[in-house]
Chain A
């Protein structure tokens, strides 16, 4: 069974830039997996940030951006703010109307 991999945790300084990645246990992530990214703060439902690799969801500030870096999908936060401290999940489309979530990355801003 394919596993979607993410860094368990990451930290960034306020104002800094951080790139979180989303890979596959076997193989490379490409645009054909239509990667999407979600932000979840404690006690809240996830919120869509990015879909189809690099399209920002409505209302998402442009300091959040998505891309493919090497063999992984990536979420870059530029100018990190305190309220960016959240869990971030990527989701890959596996075909046949099946989606798989990654394990999530806990981002600390300090």
Chain B
């Protein structure tokens, strides 16, 4: 149980295009999902907290117009990187907090984004 999927697992795009990444909780409902960014050989940096049916809460320094987050249902959150640039290239990982186990986050496998 407690499986989180991400799609796509990797994506290469041209500079200036937008990329959407999906995060799904497959066998549980998640009122809260989190989006992280990880640079090579570094720890995870929380970008935003996404609650179902409401606006995401962004961490300091994260541009909300750049990284659009939508949490339309209890099993799906999306992150759209708008007008991507090479510096947006990174590993993006989502996590989901179960409604029943509220103090445990289950992580997706990550999406590697490369912007040319």
A, B from the same assembly: no
B residues contacting A by CB (< 8 A) are: none
